[in-house]
Chain A
Amino acid sequence: MIETVLYIGLIMILLPSIVLMLLEVQKNQAHTYSRMLIEQTSAILLSEFENELLDAYSIVSSSSTLNSDQSILVFKKVDGGLNYELSFETDVVVIGDIQHNIGRINFFDGSNHWLTPEQINVTVFRIEPARNSDGELTGLNIELELSPLAILSDEDRANILNTQTTLYLFPTVSEQ
């Protein structure tokens, strides 16, 4: 009889801690998933940018929006061919009955493809020209900021990934 009372007492003491810990695990899981998704997305984006610019024939600066946090890069893969686009776009997504207005990166190659998933908000997609001392366009600086859908806490804020890089253009790539 006394043991039963002791067990109940112990469970009563431990139960709140267990519940709190399970809640913490659940929250951590959500953050972990968000971080992994952002990390994967940034890796895929870097690879995608490198691959597409490797095939570039010319950068159409006159149709591009550079030096903006919502940049659009227009380029061609053959002379006089299709205008390919890497662009910042806004999109409305509904997740868990909640509507979110988010930024996404789109790739146009004759049809549109989202390069970022619905669960990630692109807040900065900035492209700047990099020129050599002759003023020729020889590279592109790319800044990217990816964040979770909703920033509710400091932990969410810690999940924001802001990074930048420079991609070199082949000498054969011209600027229009």
Chain B
Amino acid sequence: MEVLIAVGLSAFFFSAIAGLMMASNKSMESLYNSQKAIWRAQEGLGALQSMSFTDLSTTENGLVTYLAVNEGWTLGSGIQEWDDGQSREIVISEVERDNSCQIIESGGQVDPDTYQLESTVFWTGPTGIIHNRSLQSLVVNWEDPQGDCFRPTDAGGIQLDWSGGYWGGSKQLRGVWIINNTSRDITITKMTIWWNRPAAKLQQIFAIGTKVWSDSGPGTPGGLQTSGTVIDTLDAIIPAGFIDDTHKIQFTDAMDESTLIISFEFADGSILITDPFTP
């Protein structure tokens, strides 16, 4: 009787140890699967993020492929499968935003400059349970935004270069360059000029080859103006990609050695101000 109990206990003891060993092995296998899945899910996201925004499009079953000849990833359709039983699914979806450009689930405007990316790796565990690791991110068309949410302000798209400014005939400021770095037209609506020669008055402003203000019109206010007056000019359109070096700002007196600051206000209300400069 005692012998039978001893044999029974031994069998119970050893089968428990064997069970623990098997569980431990499965657990270790699961560790590798999980770690590989995270690396592969990250690869899916990283591949999409490394591509040009214009090469992305919405998909429910995206497949990314690395082409060594181009040293780049391309997007296709299908499911990526590996020999170890893991597979990867990539989903690219549109993003909706409200009027404040906040992302919302539904009911907003589709943002043409953002995609939601999701990269999920699946595998079947030893017990038949399907596991997955999923990573999500957003990608933004920062390079050439088309919608309003990521569109730079007018002022942000304009570059001023006053380093070559000079006085023509002592009274006319010339050589101030205005550069439209965007792919859209930008309109100057107002200008303010400060200078440190109080006796001199502002008489005329030419912008983009056109007289946009003078003491006798067009623009307001009328009459010769003092430093710091906000000038409501005729709308002066700076065409997309345009570089203008034809500015002429005329004063009543000789301005040699004067220091100026010029402020431009654009149609969207944004403002661009030069540093103080002495032409």
> Chain A residues in contact with chain B, CB under 8 A?
3, 6-7, 10, 14, 17-18, 21, 24-25, 28, 31-32, 35-36, 39, 42-43, 46, 128-134, 138-139, 141, 161, 163-169, 171
Give the total of B residues in contact with A, Cβ under 8 Å: 39
**Alpha-carbon separation in the docked complex, A138 to B47 (Å):** 9
Which one, B10, B49, B54, contacts A139 given CB within 8 A? B49
Asked if B66 lies at the interface with its beta carbon under 8 angstroms from chain A, I say yes
User: Across the interface, which residues of B come within 8 angstroms of A10, CB to CB?
Assistant: 3, 6-7
User: Across the interface, which residues of A come within 8 angstroms of B274, CB to CB?
Assistant: none
User: Across the interface, which residues of B come within 8 angstroms of A17, CB to CB?
Assistant: 14
**Alpha-carbon separation in the docked complex, A143 to B31 (Å):** 19
Q: A163-B35, A166-B73 are in contact. Are A46 and B42 (CB under 8 A)?
A: yes
Please report which residues of chain B, range 188-242, place their CB below 8 angstroms from some CB of chain A when the two chains form the complex.
none
User: Across the interface, which residues of A come within 8 angstroms of B71, CB to CB?
Assistant: 128-131
User: Across the interface, which residues of A come within 8 angstroms of B66, CB to CB?
Assistant: 128, 130, 141
Quick check: A168 and B6 within 8 Å, CB to CB?
no
Quick check: B17 and A21 within 8 Å, CB to CB?
yes
User: Across the interface, which residues of B come within 8 angstroms of A130, CB to CB?
Assistant: 46-47, 50, 66, 71-73
**Alpha-carbon separation in the docked complex, A154 to B190 (Å):** 78
| Distance (whole angstroms) from the CB of A46 to the closest CB of chain B | 6
Q: Which residue of B lies closest to A160 (CB)?
A: B32
Asked if B143 lies at the interface with its beta carbon under 8 angstroms from chain A, I say yes
User: Across the interface, which residues of B come within 8 angstroms of A138, CB to CB?
Assistant: 49-51
- Complex A-B, nearest 8 residue pairs according to Cβ-Cβ distance, in ascending order: A139-B50, A166-B46, A168-B49, A138-B50, A132-B52, A130-B50, A165-B43, A165-B39
